[in-house]
Amino acid sequence: MSTSGTVTYSVNESEIIRDALTEIGYLDHTETPSADDLVVARRKLNLLVKQWTSQLDFAPGLKMWTRRTAYLFLQNGQVQYSIGPSGDHATESYVHTTLTADAAQGAGTVVVASATGIANTYNIGVVLNSGAIQWTTVNGAPAGSTVTLAATLTGPASSGNTVFCYQSKPRRPFEILSGVLRDTDGNDTPIDVNMSLAEYEVIYSKTSDGVPSRLYFEAQRTNAVVYIDCAPEDVTNVLRLPYNSYVEDFSAQVDDADFPAEWARPLCLQLASDCCRPFGKSVPPDLREDLAEALAMARKAYPQNVVAEYQSCPDEY
């Protein structure tokens, strides 16, 4: 016999809920939950996955597949930035190029070295001669190397100035893992992302120009906030910030779980446990044992790698 040749098995919201309600005896395997049942079970399911994701030491794998990277664009004179769907200019993927012709104040078009990755409605930032980045959007598809801007330039920009372009903003981070300051040649300089609030508050002159080397991070609600230790003197540098994000919501019955396959069983069993009370059922005797077993195996699926160092210690008498 041949094997399937696939490794893409996943479960969706409908399957998780039906399995959970069957597990506690609320449904049999031929029944489907009502619309009201789905509302309750979906709410429990979303509460479950959000809490699992936010537990920093719950499972190494949870912090692996939710890992993403944000690129934060800096602005001269600015030390506080919000990162998220309605935050400052940041993204998970961008392109950069340079101007190949001077652009005067009031210009509605710019000529760039490469228009690859630049498209209609994308966000575009042009470094002006003042040292600031002017952000607007692309108005129409580029004509060769000429890009039309939705807003005219508020100052002149010389040939050779940097241009950034990206499509959309990132998700809200709830934990920054590391960070580097990346220049336009792709060279990275590490920065310290573990500064505390107390350390940030005692910086004497936070708005002094310099090269950022440390940041303080607050997750907050809609957008996270990053505070850097000085005002950036070179806005062509971009902060590259690997971060942990929440798993995606369940909002429709056909939504696949934003979890690897080894978490399908724990999801079903944990939801079954959480649904016992609202669905008027007692916890089946073996459910707790099955859940503990499933969680233990899933949590060990991605063991963290650590570096051990042996140091000899002379006996002391």
Position 317 confidence tier, pLDDT thresholds 50, 70, 90: very low
Q: What is the pLDDT of residue 305?
A: 52
Query: Could you tell me what percent of the chain has a pLDDT over 70?
Result: 93
Give the predicted TM-score (pTM) of the model: 0.86
Q: What is the pLDDT of residue 312?
A: 53
Query: Which CATH fold would you assign to the domain 94-166?
Result: Elongation Factor Tu (Ef-tu); domain 3 (2.40.30)
Query: Could you tell me what percent of the chain has a pLDDT over 90?
Result: 80
Tens of pLDDT, residues 223-246: 999 999 999 999 999 999 999 888
Flag whether pLDDT at 119 surpasses 50.
Answer: yes
Q: What is the mean pLDDT of residues 163-171?
A: 97
Q: What is the pLDDT of residue 306?
A: 47
Q: What is the pLDDT of residue 1?
A: 73
Which pair of tokens denotes residue 158?
């010389």
Q: What is the pLDDT of residue 304?
A: 57
Q: What is the mean pLDDT of residues 291-305?
A: 82
Q: What is the pLDDT of residue 301?
A: 77
83 beta partners: 224
Q: Measured between alpha carbons, how far is 60 from 308 in angstroms, rounded to an integer?
A: 18
Sorted by where each begins, the domain ranges of the chain are: 13-63+249-299, 68-92+171-245, 94-166
User: Which of 66-70, 146-150, 255-259, 262-266 reaches the highest mean pLDDT?
Assistant: 146-150
Position 285 confidence tier, pLDDT thresholds 50, 70, 90: confident
Q: What is the pLDDT of residue 94?
A: 98
Give the residue among 197, 231, 196 at the shortest CA–CA distance from 212: 231
What single letter denotes the amino acid at residue 96?
A: H
With a CB cutoff of 8 Å and minimum separation 6, the contacts of 219 are 172, 173, 174, 175
Flag whether pLDDT at 137 surpasses 60.
Answer: yes
Q: What is the pLDDT of residue 165?
A: 98
Flag whether pLDDT at 311 surpasses 80.
Answer: no
Lowest mean pLDDT among 4-8, 17-21, 141-145, 181-185: 4-8
Beta strands in the chain (DSSP E): 67-73, 80-83, 90-91, 94-98, 109-111, 123-127, 133-137, 146-148, 162-166, 175-176, 180-182, 188-190, 209-210, 215-218, 224-228, 231-232, 238-244
Flag whether pLDDT at 109 surpasses 60.
Answer: yes
Q: What is the pLDDT of residue 65?
A: 80
Flag whether pLDDT at 314 surpasses 60.
Answer: no
